[in-house]
Structure 1
Amino acid sequence: MNALYTLHNIRQQYNGRPVLTVDSFVIETGSIVGIVGPNGGGKSTLMRLLAFLEPPHAGSIHFAGTDVDPRGLSSGQITTLRRKATLLTQEPYLLQRSVEENVAYGLKVRKEQNIAARVASALETVGLAPAEFCKRQWFELSGGEAQRVALAARIALSPRALLLDEPTSSLDEESTDRIREATLHIRNTSGTTLVVVSHDREWLASVADTIRTVRQGRLQPVE
């Protein structure tokens, strides 16, 4: 397998306070990497770096074989990177629109083709029947359904890397199972690389190839 991400000597700090240290971290293309650790340990900071939402204070990130330093990129180049690596946060944000419009939004912004078919396929992947859910409004969804719609919106974009931060937190059993199935499906059918943060170690072990720990701002060896 080829590395999609290679992080080397990463140091991240906020207001002069060190929050994350990563000496070396390689994420292979098509792998599912689980991340565990206590709250405040640096997991979310790592995910933001992988999503190119902020630059590291020091160190290098290679993505798909290219050294990418957000500090030296144009806004257009950063936008391109963020389209290849997309982050789903613990609290799903939905537009105040229908399910169909939510999932289609990113596709329309990018002027993609076959939008209706891609929306339907993404909803089916997360276990939401398009005929039943496309016309539902955002306020008609349960918490688990909203998280699955948010996941479908990202799956529809076919990113190279999908970063999931606590995707099953406080969800019902059906939604938890559906997200697990969707995670494995997109890796197996599309070769998407996934990095998943979760406190549910049993669930995480059922999807991840390897699990790493982030504790006290340091990335620890494979568990």
Structure 2
Amino acid sequence: MQFYDYFRSSAAYRCRIALNLKGLEPERTFVNLRTGEVRSDWYTKINPQQLVPTLIDGDATLTQSLAIIEYLDEIHPEPAFMPKDPLGKARVRAISQTIACDIHPLNNLRILNYLTGELGQSEEAKNQWYVHWVTLGFTALEAQLAASADTGTYCHGDTVTMADICLVPQVFNARRFNTDMTPYPTIVRIDEALAQLPAVADAAPGKQPDAV
């Protein structure tokens, strides 16, 4: 396996957690989002979307973090990232997509760069944009997690699932942009429990070789 990574990418961060939990150590290539290396000719040939992560496994090239995580779960079934029952799977996917499809895309680096670049918005306005969408998403997610008997030590029961893999990077970024986490005690509790796991802690941005 070869994994194309960037230390501060939320999507790559998710996959690093998943790879660590599965005990997999792919060869890693770091693609700098800040310098625009992700738009280079060499990387565009690998991933025409010009996004990280990309995972190459044999002759297969996989993109999109949730697809990569589910692929890893299929080819390395233990520990499982999804519950066995259909309703449990649906709940884990819903939580994962709330983060990866509703919150994160609005706050991705290319969106923030567009706000301050082409649209001429200030850093303050950019930060307000970021916090607004995180707050909207976390408010709904906190209500869902707090009200459900299916929430345990982690997002779904007492086993780490894809939902938790998505949650950790989003909480990290929310804090990086000074989001007030006080209204989200369930999210904070789950994140603190996950931080105790070596596979999660070792995937943190600051621990990556390309961290600056």
Q: TM-score, normalised on structure 2?
A: 0.31
Higher strand proportion: 1
Which has the higher relative contact order, 1 or 2, with Cα contacts under 8 A spaced 6 or more apart? Answer: 1
TM-score, normalised via structure 1 length: 0.30
Bigger helix share: 2
